[in-house]
Amino acid sequence: MKDFVKLEDISKIYKMGEVEIRAVDGIDFAIEKGEFVIIVGPSGAGKTTVLNILGGMDTATGGKITVDGADITSCNARQLTSYRRNDIGFVFQFYNLVPNLTALENVELALQICKNPLDAREVLEEVGLGDRLDNFPAQLSGGEQQRVSIARALAKNPKLLLCDEPTGALDYNTGKSILKLLQDMCRERGMTVIVITHNSALAPMADRLIRIKNGKVSGMEQNPNPVSIDQIEW
């Protein structure tokens, strides 16, 4: 099967005066379409930098990234904007909802700039918020707000869903339900999902596990029999 996402020798170097800091140092990996991928590693390993480069929010110092056959690293600023807008869905640790818009309006806002969006109401129902459409973020729990932000990302109908510590601000049970939602969306919609975490206990739920340490890939394994998050305790 052809690689859907491919990173080849990706590096990111920050210069502070005379000092060079290699946040990402020659990373290579490939992902197939429809996989649920977990990138795991300690804080400061370079996970978020890799995700930001893959999502078009940062540029690589060197190397090449292809997503669905398109070379992202050769894009100019305008092309990167279009790529972020149409091809990528982001879910962050913090929900980044607009406080004076309802759940439905928050999702609809994101869809105004997309080419082939899904129906906002339907997606919110799919993530279990059918009865909370008219609630404002302040009237929602943390888990519900994160569901709105996942619905917002999903409704863009992206090629790639990128999640950076999506359960970081949530309690154990709410975090598990969010991960289950992401896993179900991957399975049901055939969406390619990449989740960054420092929690290696989540490894068994992934189709592919990528370990990053000190800006390099320290290990990668495929899992032919991923388990449901329901069966994982930590």
Here the CATH number for the domain that contains residue 148 is 3.40.50.300
User: Which tokens sit at 233?
Assistant: 């305790």
Q: Which pLDDT value is given to residue 234?
A: 84
Q: Which pLDDT value is given to residue 1?
A: 56
Instruction: Give the residue-averaged pLDDT of 141-157.
Output: 93
* Confidence label for 208 from pLDDT (cuts 50, 70 and 90): very high
Question: For residue 4, is it within any domain?
Answer: no
For the chain, what is the domain count?
1
Please tell me the pTM assigned to this model: 0.92
* 60-69, 161-170, 210-219, range with the lowest pLDDT: 161-170
Question: For residue 159, is it within any domain?
Answer: yes
User: Which tokens sit at 138?
Assistant: 């302040």
- What CA–CA distance (Å, rounded) separates 153 from 182? 11
Compute the Cα dihedral for 178, 179, 183, 189 and give only its sign. Answer: positive
Question: For residue 66, is it within any domain?
Answer: no
Question: For residue 220, is it within any domain?
Answer: yes
Residue 34 has pLDDT above 80, yes or no: yes
Q: Which pLDDT value is given to residue 220?
A: 95
Q: Tell me the residue range of the domain where 114 lies.
A: 33-60+83-231
Question: For residue 3, is it within any domain?
Answer: no
Q: Which pLDDT value is given to residue 221?
A: 94
- What CA–CA distance (Å, rounded) separates 116 from 57? 21
Q: Which pLDDT value is given to residue 72?
A: 94
Q: Which pLDDT value is given to residue 201?
A: 92
Residue 11 has pLDDT above 60, yes or no: yes
* 37-46, 80-89, 150-159, 168-177, range with the lowest pLDDT: 168-177
Question: For residue 88, is it within any domain?
Answer: yes
